[in-house]
């Protein structure tokens, strides 16, 4: 067996030396050098090989759809059409999005590792997103100018902002947005495009080793698949080759990686994710698939922290708000709705070294039931003790403390 040893050189090249076994007639050592660039920039014959336009398109679609969640003139049909866009349909204001053959629904809960053989859960998850659209129209739009109260959907004032909630205090737009972070961005990146099943599909390794590019393209299929995972994190950055300078470029994974980066307890996570993406891509160019897969494991661990930490953060923020002498229900319910979406997203995380999430679908559903089950009126009846119990369950599973997430 050959053992690979590698060190990081000052030139940002990684040198891997494969020591020959006693049975190797050549008796020579095989050295592999990974050219790890400073930025996420890769070229072949003077042309960039980085491409993730489909991911950029879907992030833009998600932004426009969420904007329309707060326009009561929309119908359930128009919002669902934006979710399941057909090529050429006039669903968006952006003409380029209308011309695209991409859509959100087909990539929601669609990873090869989690859903290729589990279409039952896939169907249920997609139905959840469509039910949130229907709830927004049939419950919230219908009571758009009504003051919300326990058991009554409508609006709540949060300073100069207005929050629109259902009868149990939930903001459907927040459930949809934060749920999409898990069901689309996280699932596609961690459980689809970083999966060896996708990266090594068919003749991908042989083609990548030979530098055989896709027809009419500058990149190999394996390079492109890795870039597509990258695009779900950095697809809207002004300079995607150096994305940490522009965190918050979208309202999905990009923004909330930035939120963890701002917390002293998790500082460094943004660069950890970026460096792993960059080194993994460089390893693909060099044909070192062991290093590639090691970087995928780092990305899975770090990105999986995002919904966990932010879910606990928003629950603890809401607990503090609800404890005020005169609670700001609009602010508290907004935070709890964000938490709900992040807890929903836990089923799409990936525990390194396994083929499973940190919380299964059944387990995350159980947490959500607990969140809503302190009384008939949902969040209006929520107790501080319940918030703490859920927070502790999540923090313990991921290996951080509630205090760390609550900062």
pLDDT digits (tens, 9 = 90+) for 160-193: 999 999 999 999 999 999 999 999 999 999 999 9
Q: What is the pLDDT of residues 355-407, one digit of tens each?
A: 999 999 999 999 999 999 999 999 999 999 999 999 999 999 999 999 999 98
Say whether pLDDT at 10 is over 70: no
Helix, strand and coil in the chain, % to nearest 5: 55, 10, 35
Contact 43, 49 (CB under 8 A): yes
Closest CA to 386 of 336, 344, 334: 336
β 4-8/47-48 pair status: unpaired
Q: Output the pLDDT for position 15.
A: 58
Q: Output the pLDDT for position 30.
A: 63
Q: How confident is residue 13, by pLDDT bands cut at 50, 70 and 90?
A: low
**263: helix, coil or strand?**
coil
Contact 136, 172 (CB under 8 A): yes
Render 100-160 in DSSP notation, one character per residue.
-S--SGGGTT--HHHHTT-HHHHHHHHHHHHHHHHHIIIIIGGGTTSBPBTTB-EEEEETT
Q: Output the pLDDT for position 19.
A: 35
Question: What integer is the mean pLDDT of 97-109?
Answer: 98
Can you tell me the distance from the alpha carbon of 63 to that of 334, in angstroms, rounded to the nearest whole number?
18
β 43-44/4-8 pair status: unpaired
Can you tell me the distance from the alpha carbon of 331 to that of 140, in angstroms, rounded to the nearest whole number?
17
Q: What is the pLDDT of residues 263-276, one digit of tens each?
A: 999 999 999 999 99
Of 28-42, 77-91, 149-163, 373-387, the range with the lowest mean pLDDT is 28-42
Residue with tokens 């990539």: 107
State the chain's mean pLDDT as an integer.
93
CA-angle at 308, arms to 306 and 313, nearest 5°: 95
Query: Which residues are CB-neighbours of 403 under 8 A, at least 6 positions away?
Result: none
Of 5-9, 157-161, 389-393, the range with the lowest mean pLDDT is 5-9
């Amino acid at each position: 067996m050959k053992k690979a040893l590698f060190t990081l050189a000052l030139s940002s090249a990684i040198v891997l030396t494969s020591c020959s076994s006693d049975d190797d007639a050549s008796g020579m050592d095989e050295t592999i050098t990974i050219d790890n660039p400073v930025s996420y920039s890769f070229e072949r014959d003077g042309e960039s090989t980085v491409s993730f336009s489909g991911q950029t398109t879907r992030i833009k679609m998600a932004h426009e759809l969420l904007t329309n969640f707060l326009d009561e003139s929309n119908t359930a049909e128009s919002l669902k059409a934006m979710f399941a866009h057909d090529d050429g349909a006039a669903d968006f204001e952006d003409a380029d999005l209308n011309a695209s053959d991409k859509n959100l629904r087909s990539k929601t809960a669609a990873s090869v590792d989690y859903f290729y053989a589990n279409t039952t859960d896939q169907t249920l998850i997609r139905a959840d997103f469509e039910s949130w659209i229907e709830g927004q129209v049939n419950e919230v739009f219908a009571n758009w100018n009504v003051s919300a109260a326990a058991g009554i959907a409508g609006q709540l004032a949060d300073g100069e902002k207005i929050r629109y909630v259902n009868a149990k205090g939930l903001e459907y737009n927040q459930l949809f947005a934060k749920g999409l972070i898990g069901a689309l961005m996280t699932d596609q990146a961690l459980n689809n495009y970083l999966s060896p099943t996708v990266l090594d599909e068919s003749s991908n390794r042989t083609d990548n080793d030979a530098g055989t590019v896709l027809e009419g393209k500058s990149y190999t299929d394996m390079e492109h698949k890795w870039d597509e995972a990258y695009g779900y994190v950095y697809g809207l950055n002004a300079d995607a080759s150096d994305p940490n300078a522009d965190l918050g470029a979208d309202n999905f994974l990009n923004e909330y990686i930035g939120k963890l980066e701002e917390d002293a307890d998790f500082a460094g996570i943004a660069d950890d994710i970026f460096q792993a993406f960059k080194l993994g891509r460089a390893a693909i160019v060099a044909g070192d698939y062991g290093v590639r897969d090691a970087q995928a494991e780092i990305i899975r661990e770090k990105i999986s922290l995002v919904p966990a930490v932010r879910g606990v953060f928003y629950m603890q923020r809401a607990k503090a708000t609800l404890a005020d002498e005169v609670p700001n229900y609009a602010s508290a319910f907004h935070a709890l709705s964000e938490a709900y979406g992040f807890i929903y997203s836990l089923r799409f995380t990936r525990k390194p070294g396994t083929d499973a999430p940190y919380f299964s679908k059944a387990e995350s559903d159980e947490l959500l039931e607990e969140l809503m089950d302190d009384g008939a009126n949902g969040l209006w009846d929520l107790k501080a003790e319940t918030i703490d119990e859920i927070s502790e369950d999540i923090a313990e599973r991921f290996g951080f403390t509630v205090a760390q997430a609550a900062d």
